[in-house]
Structure formats: structure tokens, C-alpha cells
Amino acid sequence: MADALKIGIAGLGTVGSSLVRILGERANELARTCGRPITITAVSARDKSRDRGVDLSAIQWFDSAVDMANSADIDVFVELMGGAEGAADQSVRAALSRGLHVVTANKALLARCGVELAVMAEDKGALLNYEAAVAGGIPVIKALRESLTGNTVSRVYGIMNGTCNYILTRMEKEGLSFEACLKEAQRLGYAEADPTFDIEGNDTAHKLAILTTLAFGTQIAADEIYLEGISNISIEDIQAAADLGYRIKLLGVALRTDTGIEQRVHPTMVPHDSVIAQVDGVTNAVAIESDILGELLMVGPGAGGNATASAVLGDIADIAKSRPGAQRVPVLGNPAASLAPYTRAQMQSHEGGYFIRLTVLDRAGVFADVATRMADNGISLESIVQRAKGSEADSGSKTIILVTHATTEQSIRKAVDAIKSGTYLAGEPQVIRIERPKAF
């Protein structure tokens, strides 16, 4: 049997400690599958005294991940600390400069400087693997980077944040407010004490930026993503969506258009009978539409120690099986130096259906005026309904809900501005884009 693959793990939290445990429990199977043992020779975290439920006594400890990357006797540097800057950034660069292979689950780091890191890795002939960075245990990186080679991808989209999907699912199933569901998610450990990054869509955006690069061969452009979170989704939206045959999901969507690549993260209505609409709770799903294969949909655990460690383990095993000097799969699907500059399709030209919910004063002529504003902007309506329920009727207001046929963002914004210029709105209009899966 070949020499052991020596790995150093920086970060022993949820993912890192699961990885250490699994590598211990599965040592024999892994050695057989990979043709060589995988041995942890170094670890690093902030607090050496913390009990992590795994035996680290025979492993060299580093207080500094950067020191470990610079000097440990390892072949692979596994970065499981997180964060776009600081120790994660410095240690990954140090490891790549030494020509070490790197495995990371860090979407924030890759979204910020993935191309630069890929160039470093490719210059050194090192592997940089990051399956766990997008959708946890779902092997979407491998699918895009390797399995779909030769396909032209037209659209990639998915539910990539378990916290948001959990909150939206609970709101729909229990009829609870956003705030109540967020508190519950925090109590259960699905949401951070500061949940902003998840609920405002930044986490999904980081993952989408990576998928866009793999799907379309462009440079990573996380700052060019149109972003809307779920914090202003109300129970009224969820219920109206359900009445109309839709569910609301936070989707990240990237697609090729005539004018560039559209990247957007926002609450989205998906048809109730589509498979992605049925993806509930913390589960993730990623769909890829391509010309040769057609539509591929992968559903599975997007987070958690075991699921994420499973993806990290797959990346380590790929390195263990690789031969020194062999041709490497480019880190970002295409050689990093050849990635095309990212051209952003303007959001104003986005085409699709829209859901609009208006709270209006209960006056004669309002319904007709709303319909006229839509028609003035060339928007054709799939449905328009009005209703006044309970407290609304008492307060003299009512709700008008519209679902449009495909139109442009520009037309919708003009129509909504025209409605806002009237004197009958009793609340801020809610506008939610509709996304239609092709096959499932």
C-alpha cells in the first residue's frame, strides 16, 4: 500500500470534529478505497482545552492555523474555520504557496477570492477542492466541474440556505409569523444569534457566485448579485401564494441571457406541484439545466456536521487517489486564467411572471385603476383577485393580488410606481418573482 496521505485540519467545530471522528471510524474502509491510509497529523483551533468529543492526543496541535499551513508535516491542508478573511484566507494562501493541496468548506472565502486561489493552486499543481462550500453534502461542485463537462448550461438555481427554507416552511405549515419562526430556528440551532447573513440572502449569494463560475465559465462575481432576503415575507404572502398554487422559497438563480449572466437571490414563487416546491425544512436542492443532459435536480442535506464532513471527506479521498504529476481538474471547471470576465445582465431586463400583493383603501375604482396601470405598461395578467378579510374589512382596506404572465422587471417597476403615485395604497406593495422549473 502507498504511503499515508497526511492531512492537517484547521477548525474543529461542527464540521471539523465530525470529520476527525469519521476519519477515525472509517480508517480501514478509506485506506482500502483510496489505496492508501489517510492520517491526521496536525490540527488547529483557537481553544486547545475544549472537549471536542474526539481523541486528539496523538496529533500535533497548532494554536495558529497559519503556522500549521506553513510548517506542519502534511500533504493536505483542510480549512474548516470559515470567514472570508483573517486566518482562513492567510492559512489557505500559505498552504497553496507551499504547494499543499487544500480542501475547504468556506464559500465566503471562495466568493471573495476564489479565482486568485485557483490561480495559485494551478501554478503549483495543487488541488483546491471545495465540495462542501455549496449545498453541504450535495455533490453539486463535482456535477458541474466534472460530470457535466461538454454540456452548455443555461440555468442553475436552488434552495441553498437551510435556515431560510426552514423559516419559510414553518411559516406555511404552522401559519406563524417570520419573527416567530426565526426565533424557533435560533432555539433549534438552525439560525445564528445574528441571522442577518442567512436571512438577507448573502450566504446564498456566496454559493450562487461559485455555481455561476462553474456553470458559465466566468470569473466569480459575488458583488454583482441582485439580492433580496426573506425578512419582509409575511404570512399573507405565504397564504396568498398557497391559494394561487405556489410556494415561496429563497432561490439563488443564475442564467445565461442575450445580454449577459443574470445572478439573483430573492424570495421566489415556485409552482406548488414542482419538486423544488416540496423541498422542506433545512434540506437543500440544486437544479441544473443543460443542453445535453437536460434538467438535473439534486436534493439533500445542505448543512450539519455529518453531511458537510461527508463532502469534505470525498474531496480528501479524491486527493488520496490522485497521482502526483497527473493532469488536474481545473479548480473552477476551466483553467482559472482563462475564465471570461463576468458581464452582468441588467435586472431591469429580467423576464418572468410576478406576484404582486397590494393593500389598498376600500374605495370604488381602485381595482379598475390597478388593472389599467398594468395594461398601460403592457403587462398581461394571469389572475387578479380582491378580498377583504376580518380586520382588513374593519379597517376599511382590502387586498388585491395579481399574478402576471411573463413580463420584464422594468415594466413591473413602472407599473408599481404608477400605482404608488395614486392615493389609495394602504401599505407598501409586495412584489415576488415567479420561477418555473423546466422539467420537474
Ligand X SMILES: NC(=O)c1ccc[n+]([C@@H]2O[C@H](COP(=O)([O-])OP(=O)(O)OC[C@H]3O[C@@H](n4cnc5c(N)ncnc54)[C@H](OP(=O)(O)O)[C@@H]3O)[C@@H](O)[C@H]2O)c1
Instruction: Output the smallest distance, CB 83 to ligand X, in A.
Output: 7
Q: Which stretch binds ligand X (CB under 6 A): 12-20, 29-37, 118-126, 273-281?
A: 12-20
Q: Binding to ligand X (CB under 6 A): which residues in 97-116?
A: 105-106
Q: Binding to ligand X (CB under 6 A): which residues in 64-83?
A: 65, 80-82
Count of positions (residues) in the chain: 440
Cα 249 to Cα 432: distance, rounded to the nearest angstrom: 10
Decide if residue 132 touches ligand X (CB under 6 A).
Answer: yes
The closest residue (CB) to ligand X is: 13
The CA radius of gyration of the chain, in Å to the nearest whole number, is: 24
Beta bridge partners of 182: none
Q: Binding to ligand X (CB under 6 A): which residues in 266-305?
A: 303-304
Count of residues that bind ligand X according to CB under 6 A: 24
Decide if residue 14 touches ligand X (CB under 6 A).
Answer: yes
Per the annotation, the verdict on 207 as an active-site residue is yes
Among 11, 114, 195, 201, binds ligand X (CB under 6 A): 11
Instruction: Output the smallest distance, CB 161 to ligand X, in A.
Output: 10
Q: Which stretch binds ligand X (CB under 6 A): 8-16, 31-39, 112-120, 215-223?
A: 8-16
Decide if residue 8 touches ligand X (CB under 6 A).
Answer: no
Query: Among 103, 383, 133, 140, which Cα is nearest to 241's?
Result: 383
Residues 261/212, Cβ–Cβ less than 8 Å: yes
The catalytic position among 107, 142, 207, 249 is: 207
Compute, in degrees rounded to 10, the torsion defined by CA atoms 388, 390, 393, 397. Answer: -70
Question: How far is the CA of 214 from the CAs of 115, 264, 279, 308, 329, in angstroms?
Answer: 11, 16, 24, 20, 12
* Cα angle for residues 85, 88, 89 (degrees, 5° grid): 55
* Three cell numbers, residue 90: 492567510
**CB-neighbour burial class of residue 8 (10 A; exposed 0-12, middle 13-18, buried 19+):** buried
Among 31, 34, 38, 87, binds ligand X (CB under 6 A): 87
Instruction: Output the smallest distance, CB 335 to ligand X, in A.
Output: 25
Among 22, 30, 41, 44, binds ligand X (CB under 6 A): 44
The contact pattern for ligand X, residues 136-175, with x = CB under 6 A and - = no contact, is: x---------------------------------------
Question: How far is the CA of 384 from the CAs of 202, 270, 368, 372, 430, in angstroms?
Answer: 33, 18, 11, 12, 14
Query: Between 106 and 404, whose beta carbon lies closer to ligand X?
Result: 106
Cβ-Cβ contacts under 8 Å for 184 (sequence gap 6 or more): 170, 176
Decide if residue 129 touches ligand X (CB under 6 A).
Answer: no
Active site amino acids: 207
Per CB under 6 A, residues contacting ligand X are: 10-16, 44-47, 50, 65, 80-82, 87, 105-106, 132, 136, 303-304, 308
